[in-house]
Structure 1
Amino acid sequence: MNFLTLFARNLRRGPYTERFPFGPPAPAPKRLRGRIEFEAKLCEGCLLCEKLCPSGAIRFSRTAAGLAFDCWHSTCVFCGTCAFYCPSGSIRQTTDWSLAHVEAEMFAVAEHGLIPTIVCAECGGKGLDTASNVAKVRPPLSDEEYAQLRRRCPKCRNKFLRNRGKTS
């Protein structure tokens, strides 16, 4: 193929490269492992993702407001271990691959979440508003019972589940 034929073909087809970051985002493959998202409402607070993260990108810390979740995307290797082993599905990987940023925003490229501290509706103690692992509870909880369960500390949750269905 000579130069003029190649030149004419490229003029007809247009540029091959993506106009990143100025154009629309390029489509990502369906199974691409991109940045993670954290949904605090679904989290059980087991901290398994922090323990299993090979790069140490995930950190939980106790604060006055509750349990803070941080995932530093600059450290994350996007292996998917956290999402795979999360029992509640509160961590999932997206197909978002465009994590380019200016160096001044290096520490802003992170996923943050907070599992708030609650006051137990039964004993008045403090607990975390975590999702309860109720997959094996029989009969399954109604929406009202689940809402009541979330307003209790772990000790009162166990008591509530033991006494559920018993008449006073």
Structure 2
Amino acid sequence: MSFVKTLISNLVHGPSTEAYPFGPAWTPAHFRGRVEFKLSSCTACRACEQVCAPGAIRFDKTPEGLRFMLWHNTCVFCGLCEFYCPTDAIHQTNDWHMAHATERQYEIGIREVIPYVSCTGCGLKALASAPNPGGVEPPFSPEEVEIQRNLCPACRKKALAERGVQK
């Protein structure tokens, strides 16, 4: 008898499934989906690599700089990388449309390189990573961020001390 009630309800109200892929599908507001990476905010702390349980995130040293790689087909969308990133360089979107043909599996990863630069303070080779603004008062201006980006860690520390910040 329950089956007849369900059948009549479905005939009156319509199907309860989504029209996807033939129409839009509802997505919850806080759904954890595709990961986005903002290279300009990355400090190269590698915390995301350390907390990534399935190993979807990897940093490799290359002659050009430090290469960030994230494989969406390995990611389990747990959100730990976003949670532990000190500068919000990693953000999870609510985009879950990641179906792809098998031959395209290596195209859906994120590959970015944090390049090496010559330190403007001492001339040594350093990564052009973003400075970690945590605890810096007053906050860095965009011009100061670019100046810090072109300094090695020792010169960054010296510049912060001259600015009056003990780090």
Bucket of the pairwise TM-score, normalised by the shorter protein: 0.7 to 0.9
Cα contact 2:130–2:145 (8 A) shared by 1: no
Cα distance, 1:115–1:8 mapped onto 2, change above 3 Å = same
Cα contact 1:127–1:152 (8 A) shared by 2: yes
User: Once the two structures are superposed, what CA deviation does each residue of 1:109-149 show, in whole Å capped at 9, x if it has no partner?
Assistant: 21222212111112111111111113212343343333222
Tell me how far apart the structure 2 counterparts of residues 44 and 7 of structure 1 sit (CA, whole Å): 54
Question: In the alignment, what sits opposite 1:43?
Answer: 42
Structure 2: where are the runs of 5+ without partners? Answer: none
Question: In the alignment, what sits opposite 1:136?
Answer: 135
Cα distance, 1:157–1:19 mapped onto 2, change above 3 Å = same
User: Once the two structures are superposed, what CA deviation does each residue of 1:15-67 show, in whole Å capped at 9, x if it has no partner?
Assistant: 6554544544x231101111111101101111011011011110111112211
Q: Secondary structure at the match of 2:112?
A: strand
Question: In the alignment, what sits opposite 2:109?
Answer: 110
Tell me how far apart the structure 2 counterparts of residues 8 and 22 of structure 1 sit (CA, whole Å): 21
* 1:30 and 2:29 correspond: yes
Cα contact 1:38–1:112 (8 A) shared by 2: no
Question: In the alignment, what sits opposite 1:67?
Answer: 66
Question: In the alignment, what sits opposite 1:82?
Answer: 81
Cα contact 1:122–1:152 (8 A) shared by 2: yes
What root-mean-square deviation, in Å, do the aligned CA atoms of Structure 1 and Structure 2 show?
Answer: 2.4
Q: TM-score, normalised by structure 2?
A: 0.83
Question: In the alignment, what sits opposite 2:144?
Answer: 145
Cα distance, 1:73–1:161 mapped onto 2, change above 3 Å = same
Cα offset, 1:7, TM superposition: 8.6
Report the AA paired with residue 159 of structure 1: K
Cα contact 1:28–1:95 (8 A) shared by 2: yes
Cα distance, 1:160–1:32 mapped onto 2, change above 3 Å = same
Tell me how far apart the structure 1 counterparts of residues 79 and 49 of structure 2 sit (CA, whole Å): 12
User: Once the two structures are superposed, what CA deviation does each residue of 1:55-94 show, in whole Å capped at 9, x if it has no partner?
Assistant: 1110111112211111111111110011111111100101
Cα contact 1:35–1:95 (8 A) shared by 2: yes
Report the AA paired with residue 71 of structure 2: W
* 1:97 and 2:59 correspond: no
Cα offset, 1:98, TM superposition: 1.1
Q: Secondary structure at the match of 2:105?
A: helix
Tell me how far apart the structure 2 counterparts of residues 8 and 162 of structure 1 sit (CA, whole Å): 72
Cα contact 1:58–1:71 (8 A) shared by 2: yes
Q: What percent of counterpart residues are identical? A: 46
* 1:57 and 2:21 correspond: no
